[in-house]
Structures are given as C-alpha cells and as structure tokens.
C-alpha cells in the first residue's frame, strides 16, 4: 500500500471508515450492532459482606464474582465501617484512655454506630444506581450481618435519597433480622480496649438502636414496585436453631406484608460454607441466583 498522501479522496475515506471493513455485516448494520452491544443494560449484584458487623471487608468479597460475571452479570462489593469505626473514630484518644470514667465515654461514642452502618449501605446503593443507570435491575446479596444490612435496604424510604433503585431481587443468606437477642450476648459486650489494639471492641448496641435496626420490626408494606422484588431467605442446614427461627419469622413477616418471598434451607452447609460455595457455578444457591436473574 502506498503512502496516504498518494491516495485519492475516495480511497482515504474508505481507509478511515472502519465499518466498511467488517466481515460480519454491512457498514450500517455493524455500527447499529456495536451501539446496541455496548449500551445494553446489564443486571448488577451488590454483595454485602458479613463478619458480625465487626470484621471482613469489601476487599475480600470478590469470591462470589466469577460464576456471575461469566453469565454477563456485573458484581460490586459494598463496604461499610465495621465496629468500632462506625461512629467515625479510628484511633483511641490516649487522653480519653487515661480518664477514670473512660468506659462511659466510649459507650457514648459507640451509641448509634449501627445506624451509621445501615445509612452507609443505603447511601452506597443510592450512589451506585445513580452512577450506573443502564442496569437492567439491581440485586442485593448479603451474608450474616450483610444479610441484615441488605434487609434494612429493603425497608428504605428512598425519597430521602432522591432515587428509586430498581431492586429486582434480594438474596439474604444466614442473616439476623431481629437484633435484640444479640444485645444479650458477648457479641455485644465491650470486652477489651487497649491503646495499641481496639480490634476486640464489640458492638455495644443499646436496645433502642437494636430495635430500630431490626428488619423484622421495621417492615415496609409491599408497594407495586416492591412486589416486583423477589426475596430469597436462605439458611444453612447447620445454622443454629435461632438463625433458623429468625429466618422463618422474617420470611413470614415479609409474606404477610405482601412481598414475593421464598425460604430455602440449604442442605449439608454451615454458617460459613453456605456463602463460600457461591464461588462455584454448580452450587444450588448460585443456580438459584442465576435463575432468578434470568427470569427478570
């Protein structure tokens, strides 16, 4: 081929018109097909991690992505400030630790951090749907504490956030839907604080905070839009009887409120591998998620 300076105007136009060179279809059709392909809406799964509101992170949540992404589903992990960071403090004040009444001050700092976590997750959902308007629907997936937070998302008054997310489904796995029993366990007690390590600080969740952040107690009646959202409540066969009870009661509460909801007891799993196995394409819960999304 000669230099471009030696080409006629017609030849130059042809050389710089990529659509003329497609082997698959004519020049008009290939452009239309390309626009359709790159702008086509896609389903989006938002994964909310567990860890009893105290550990794990979005950075370790990518394990669920491979079997979903291979089916054309986008996956995003949602983070939140686990306790005790939820109230905005990341390092303990040395002066505070020296005070005789420091436990009272710490309790004051801890009050409401569950509210913060819930608000953070709600804001994340609002932000994502504003940034990615081309989704064909949003699906929530949460495990344990993450299932609790996903359930709280379902009860959100979205007018406060200026958006109406098209949440078409929620997969709530081995969740806690009534927080009050947690307030009577060691999960909630302030066990240990040191100047060098605050990782053992637990929830310090007051009863009133627990109640207003319990999905089973802040049930929202199913509007027409919410009726279009399918909710799957899954529980591991070897979860404790309390986890089974809570899953059953939240299932009944949603159904009574008019939601489209189902309950799945997953055989031969415990509280941990029930979610770990989502990395496997052939796992029953993976298949249930894929089937629900494909029906939408």
Residues serving a catalytic function are: 144, 239, 271
Chain mean position to CA 191: 29
CA atoms within a 13 Å half-sphere pointing along the CA-CB vector of 159: 1
Cis upstream peptide for 84 (omega within 30°): yes
Q: Is 77 exposed, middle or buried (0-12, 13-18, 19+ CB in 10 A)?
A: buried
What is the per-residue burial (b if ≥16 Cβ within 10 Å, else e) of 221-259?
ebeeebeebbbbbbbbeebeeebbebbeebbebbeeeeb
DSSP annotation of 88 = S
Give dist(CA 138, CA 293) in Å, integer.
10
């Amino acid at each position: 081929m000669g230099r471009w300076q030696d080409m006629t105007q017609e030849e130059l136009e042809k050389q710089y018109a990529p659509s003329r060179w497609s082997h698959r279809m004519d020049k008009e059709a290939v452009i239309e097909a390309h626009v359709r392909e790159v702008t086509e809406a896609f389903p989006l799964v938002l994964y909310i991690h567990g860890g009893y509101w105290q550990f794990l992170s979005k950075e370790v949540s990518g394990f669920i992505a491979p079997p979903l992404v291979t089916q054309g589903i986008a996956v995003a992990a949602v983070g939140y400030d686990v306790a005790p960071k939820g109230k905005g403090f990341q390092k303990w004040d040395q002066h505070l630790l020296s005070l005789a009444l420091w436990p009272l001050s710490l309790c004051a700092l801890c009050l409401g951090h569950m509210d913060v976590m819930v608000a953070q997750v709600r804001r994340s959902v609002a932000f994502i749907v504003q940034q990615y308007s081309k989704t064909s629907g949003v699906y929530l997936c949460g495990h344990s504490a993450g299932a609790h937070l996903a359930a709280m998302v379902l009860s959100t008054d979205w007018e406060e956030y200026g958006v109406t997310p098209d949440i078409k489904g929620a997969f709530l796995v081995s969740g806690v839907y009534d927080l009050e029993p947690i307030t009577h366990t060691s999960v909630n007690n302030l066990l240990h604080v040191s100047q060098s390590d605050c990782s053992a600080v637990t929830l310090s969740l007051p009863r009133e905070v627990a109640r207003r952040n319990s999905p089973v107690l802040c049930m929202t009646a199913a509007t027409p839009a919410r009726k279009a959202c399918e909710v799957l409540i899954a529980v591991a066969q070897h979860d404790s009887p309390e986890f089974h009870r809570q899953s059953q009661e939240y299932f009944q509460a949603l159904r009574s409120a008019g939601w489209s909801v189902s309950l799945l007891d997953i055989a031969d799993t415990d509280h941990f591998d029930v979610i770990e196995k989502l990395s496997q394409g052939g796992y029953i819960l993976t298949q249930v998620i894929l089937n629900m999304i494909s029906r939408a």
